[in-house]
């Protein structure tokens, strides 16, 4: 083969091209999860992925993370194939369940990815202390996860995901299990952490206000098979405060996303009728 894919410009954190994902291909339980997905995430950008349940949001995130393989198409992370980016630990992940190990202290949970990288104990301790400062839990290093509230556990999970300073953070509904007040607080904290660290984020949610509040761009997906039907530019700058949630621009973008979701649903229904 002589044709080489054009290498992406260095300022792109994620480049997804012509992505197709089919589960159980050719079997009676075949699922066409993602079709013709094209997505570029610029370095330092915050992108929210939103769409109805089952539209393939987690699948897309898992493909970017190289936890599963595309049926067709390519995923480039930091200018290299997703597989190489995983080997290089170029990204951290956080999920709805914090996934902390119950038998490890908070500090030792945060240090886990550093242990895997072979960092010595002194360096690990110093970094976990630094990360606990960053997520505003400096006094909890020696606590066990069950001694923390849900919001605090998610902070620890974020600290762990960022401990090795990955340039990319992949988050799958990380605040989905939190109450509304805690959730809004965590959103503000996440924005602060990202601006302090310069981390690129791909954030899956099914909350429209959450998607808009956090993101530079909101990627709207259609019901299964998931496609990207629209990308809403939020365009409100990065300095978001509690007042942002009451701003006219914010409500306008929330309306844009809601209408895009409705449009995607109607489009999928129309395709369903054509297919019959």
Which among Mg ion, ligand ADP, none contacts residue 67 (Cβ within 5 to 8 A by kind)?
none
| x-or-dash string of contact with Mg ion, 36-75, rule CB under 5 A | ----------------------x-----------------
Closest to ligand ADP by CB, 91 or 95: 95
Q: How far is the CB of 269 from ligand ADP (least distance, A)?
A: 17
Residues within window 15-34 making contact with ligand ADP, judged by CB under 6 A: 23-24, 31, 33
Which among Mg ion, ligand ADP, none contacts residue 56 (Cβ within 5 to 8 A by kind)?
ligand ADP
Closest to Mg ion by CB, 60 or 159: 60
Number of residues that bind ligand ADP (CB under 6 A): 13
Contact 246, 220 (CB under 8 A): no
Q: Does 272 bind ligand ADP (CB under 6 A)?
A: no
Which among Mg ion, ligand ADP, none contacts residue 119 (Cβ within 5 to 8 A by kind)?
none
Backbone phi, psi, residue 6, to 5°: -60, 135
DSSP bridge partners of 28: none
Closest to Mg ion by CB, 95 or 140: 95
Residues within window 49-78 making contact with ligand ADP, judged by CB under 6 A: 51, 53-59
- DSSP-assigned letters across all residues of the chain: --PPPPPPPTTEEEEEEEEEEEESTTSTT-EEEEEEEEEEEETT-EEEEE-STTSSHHHHHHHHTTSS--SEEEEEETTEEHHHHHHTT-EEEEESS----TTS-HHHHHHHHHHHTT--HHHHHHHHHHHHHHTT-TT-TT--GGGS-HHHHHHHHHHHHHTT--SEEEEESTTTTS-HHHHHHHHHHHHHHHHHHT-EEEEEES-HHHHHHH-SEEEEEPSSSB-EEEEEE--S-S---GGGGGSHHHHHHHHHHHHHHHHHHHHHHHHHHHH-
Contact 6, 40 (CB under 8 A): no
Contact 236, 253 (CB under 8 A): yes
Closest to ligand ADP by CB, 124 or 224: 224
Closest to ligand ADP by CB, 98 or 222: 222
Closest to Mg ion by CB, 200 or 205: 205
Which among ligand ADP, Mg ion, none contacts residue 272 (Cβ within 5 to 8 A by kind)?
none
Q: Does 205 bind Mg ion (CB under 5 A)?
A: no
Closest to Mg ion by CB, 197 or 207: 207
Which among ligand ADP, Mg ion, none contacts residue 55 (Cβ within 5 to 8 A by kind)?
ligand ADP
Output the CA angle 188-179-243, nearest 5 degrees.
35
Q: How far is the CB of 28 from ligand ADP (least distance, A)?
A: 12
Residues binding ligand ADP (CB under 6 A):
23-24, 31, 33, 51, 53-59, 224
Residues binding Mg ion (CB under 5 A):
58
């Amino acid at each position: 083969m002589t044709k080489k894919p054009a290498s992406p410009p260095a300022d792109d954190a994620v480049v997804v091209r012509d992505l197709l994902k089919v589960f159980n291909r050719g079997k009676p339980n075949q699922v066409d999860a993602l079709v013709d997905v094209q997505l570029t995430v610029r370095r330092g950008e915050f992108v929210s992925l939103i769409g109805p349940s089952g539209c393939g949001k987690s699948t897309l995130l898992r493909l970017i993370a190289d936890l599963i393989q595309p049926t067709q198409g390519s995923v480039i992370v930091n200018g290299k194939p997703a597989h190489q980016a995983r080997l290089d630990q170029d990204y951290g992940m956080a999920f709805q369940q914090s996934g902390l190990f119950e038998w490890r202290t908070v500090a030792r949970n945060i240090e886990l990815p550093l242990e895997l990288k072979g960092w010595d104990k002194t360096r690990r301790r110093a970094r976990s202390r630094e990360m606990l400062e960053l997520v505003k839990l400096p006094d909890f290093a020696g606590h066990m996860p069950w001694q923390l509230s849900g919001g605090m556990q998610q902070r620890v999970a974020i600290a762990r995901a960022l401990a090795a300073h990955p340039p990319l953070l992949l988050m799958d509904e990380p605040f989905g299990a939190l109450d509304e007040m805690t959730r809004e607080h965590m959103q503000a904290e996440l924005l602060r952490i990202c601006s302090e660290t310069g981390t690129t984020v791909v954030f899956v949610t099914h909350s429209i206000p959450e998607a808009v509040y956090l993101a530079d761009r909101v990627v709207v997906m259609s019901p299964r098979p998931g496609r990207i039907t629209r990308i809403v530019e939020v365009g409100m700058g990065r300095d978001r405060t509690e007042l942002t949630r009451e701003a006219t621009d914010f409500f306008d973008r929330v309306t844009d996303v809601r209408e895009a979701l409705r449009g995607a649903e109607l489009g999928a229904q129309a395709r369903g009728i054509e297919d019959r």
